[in-house]
Amino acid sequence: MVGGNRMVSGEGTSGRDGAALVDRHVAAHTDRKLPPTMTALVKPEPRAGAELREVPVPSVGPRDVLIEVLASSICGTDLHIYSWDPWAEGRVHTPIVFGHEFAGRVVATGADVTRVPLGAYVAAESHIACGNCYECRHGMQHVCRNVQIVGVDRPGAFAEYIAIPEGNAWLTSERFPPEIATIQEPMGNAVHTALSVPLAGANVAIFGAGPIGLFAVPIARASGAARIIVVEPSSYRRQLAERTGADVVIDPASENVVRRIREETGGEGADVVLEMSGNGNAIAQAMESLRFGGNISLLGIPARPVELDLADGVIFKGATVRGISGRRLWETWYQTRGFLESGMDLSPIVTHRLPLPEFETAFELVRSGQSGKVVMYPRGADRESEVGI
Ligand code: NAD
Ligand code: ZN
């Protein structure tokens, strides 16, 4: 631990089981005078929208680090919370600071922190696994049954500061600007999905070119995919897919997707399908366009149950179907770092950068689909910009 002044904080923010260490006053190390309050994007009540508010700077439990947030990116989950859809209604308790993809600098460390030094530049794993359940004890923390999610179950990252367990902080190279550091988390979803099966020499079909599907394109390319076919209804996102290296882009609104994928794969169908849309029709087409004996990995989350032809789509085809949840801890993070450090350029996918006070514009951009990844700057360090395509 890097030494420094001691500051006294209020209740801690996390325990081994994610519960608050209520009323436990702990000493944290810091090298600066931290303000008592900060600006944060709060979902104040169970209804659509959000408000910028002045709230207390989070307190630091003995194993927590306090991070000054330099950038936080918007995920589909945040849009669910912002819009307050049925999922949010059933899952999120207000008031809450939301947001879970971020990068920043460690400005205080709890008394028992040993791995993450003051001043460290970090991103974060947003899923806080319990470490004790059957899955965690089998090395499968990514499907921990007691998972706590940052910005869903506990205060999030659309704020000037966030406290997380040190075990969830991911030390990041200073070479990567905050807007790239923050997207390691969603990029990890793409890495986990794409590397769930061998891609070398394979014809790969990606359904959905949202940010995660877009990340999957260069990842599949770097993994040796022979041909990368992207299915996406938004023309803005099809253009982004082409820019990131897709060989073929298909508009499901104007083409027969299954026939086209067969044509593009010499009549065989795709060796590997990565389902990254969550759209029910797309999932059915994804199965149909898979070749006999092929692999399909499902990441996209359908809003409701989906009816599928298992007999022809999976069983007689001898297909292998995998569900993908989160990121494998911590293999996926090391693989993600490896791709970035090898020079993978994801900057075209970060299409919009705005200061946090312009959150309404930012969420509208995400909702419209006229965007790739949208990044916000809680400290207003960046000005609004759009990377034209
Ligand atoms: P996104 O909503 O930005 O992207 C989904 C894309 O699918 C959109 O571009 C949309 O236009 C496209 N789409 C809609 N209908 C389609 C169709 N018929 N065919 C092909 N594409 C279609 O979301 P994202 O942030 O890129 O995430 C992708 C998916 O992964 C979402 O469903 C998200 O909820 C899910 N997700 C899952 C996990 C996990 O752990 N399993 C983690 C993060 C995100
Ligand atoms: Zn667990």
Give pLDDT tens digits for 261-282: 999 999 999 999 999 999 999 9
Average pLDDT of the segment spanning 169-190: 98
Distance separating alpha carbons of residues 301 and 320, to the nearest angstrom: 18
Q: Tell me how far the alpha carbon of residue 19 lies from the centroid of ligand 2, in angstroms.
A: 14
Distance separating alpha carbons of residues 220 and 226, to the nearest angstrom: 9
Distance separating alpha carbons of residues 169 and 188, to the nearest angstrom: 14
**314: three-class secondary structure by DSSP:** helix
Give the residues surrounding ligand 1 with Cβ less than 6 Å away: 75-76, 189, 207-213, 231-234, 237, 252, 276-279, 281-282, 299-301, 324-326, 369
Residue having the nearest C-alpha atom to atom 17 of ligand 1: 282
User: What pLDDT does residue 362 have?
Assistant: 98
Distance separating alpha carbons of residues 217 and 231, to the nearest angstrom: 12
pLDDT tens per residue, range 189-199 = 999 999 999 99
The model's confidence at residue 386, banded by pLDDT at 50, 70 and 90, is very low
Distance separating alpha carbons of residues 301 and 61, to the nearest angstrom: 33
- Which alpha helices (DSSP H) does the chain contain, by range? 76-83, 86-91, 178-181, 184-194, 211-222, 235-243, 257-264, 280-288, 310, 331-341, 359-368
Q: Which residue among 82, 277, 298 is best mutated to probe the pocket of ligand 1, counting the most ligand atoms within 8 A of its Cβ?
A: 277
With a cut of 50, say whether residue 8 has pLDDT above it.
no
pLDDT tens per residue, range 284-306 = 999 999 999 999 999 999 989 99
Average pLDDT of the segment spanning 208-230: 98
Q: How does DSSP assign 233-244, residue by residue? A: S-HHHHHHHHHT
User: What pLDDT does residue 3 have?
Assistant: 33
* 308 Cα distance to chain centroid: 27
With a cut of 70, say whether residue 2 has pLDDT above it.
no
Q: Tell me how far the alpha carbon of residue 143 lies from the centroid of ligand 2, in angstroms.
A: 7
User: What pLDDT does residue 134 have?
Assistant: 98
With a cut of 60, say whether residue 13 has pLDDT above it.
no
Interstrand relation of 127-128 and 161-165 (parallel, antiparallel or unpaired): unpaired
Higher pLDDT, 47 or 387: 47
Q: Tell me how far the alpha carbon of residue 210 lies from the centroid of ligand 1, in angstroms.
A: 6
Q: Which residue among 196, 257, 299, 371 is best mutated to probe the pocket of ligand 1, counting the most ligand atoms within 8 A of its Cβ?
A: 299
Q: Tell me how far the alpha carbon of residue 165 lies from the centroid of ligand 2, in angstroms.
A: 15
Q: Tell me how far the alpha carbon of residue 95 lies from the centroid of ligand 2, in angstroms.
A: 26
Choosing from 13, 30, 77, 109, the catalytic residue is 77
Average pLDDT of the segment spanning 6-12: 36
The model's confidence at residue 26, banded by pLDDT at 50, 70 and 90, is low
**Sign of the dihedral through C-alpha 73, 165, 34, 122:** negative
pLDDT tens per residue, range 87-124 = 999 999 999 999 999 999 999 999 999 999 999 999 99
User: What pLDDT does residue 27 have?
Assistant: 76
pLDDT tens per residue, range 236-245 = 999 999 999 9
Question: b/e string for 90-102 if b means 16 or more Cβ within 10 A?
Answer: eebeeebbbbbbb
User: What pLDDT does residue 102 have?
Assistant: 98
With a cut of 70, say whether residue 220 has pLDDT above it.
yes
User: What pLDDT does residue 189 have?
Assistant: 98
Query: Mean pLDDT for the chain?
Result: 92
Q: 77 an active-site residue?
A: yes
User: Do residues 355 and 380 touch, judged by C-beta distance below 8 A?
Assistant: yes
User: Do residues 70 and 105 touch, judged by C-beta distance below 8 A?
Assistant: yes
User: What pLDDT does residue 380 have?
Assistant: 77
For the chain, domains (ranges, CATH) are 5-183+346-386 (3.90.180.10), 187-323 (3.40.50.720)
User: What pLDDT does residue 379 have?
Assistant: 87
Residue having the nearest C-alpha atom to atom 19 of ligand 1: 282
Q: 192 an active-site residue?
A: no
Residue 90 CB contacts under 8 Å (≥ 6 apart), including other chains: none
Residue having the nearest C-alpha atom to atom 15 of ligand 1: 279
With a cut of 70, say whether residue 174 has pLDDT above it.
yes
Note the ligand closest to the C-alpha atom of 141. 2
Average pLDDT of the segment spanning 224-247: 98
User: What pLDDT does residue 381 have?
Assistant: 59
Residue 84: asked if its preceding bond is cis (omega within 30°), the reply is no
Find the range with the poorest average confidence among 48-62, 163-177, 346-360, 374-388: 374-388
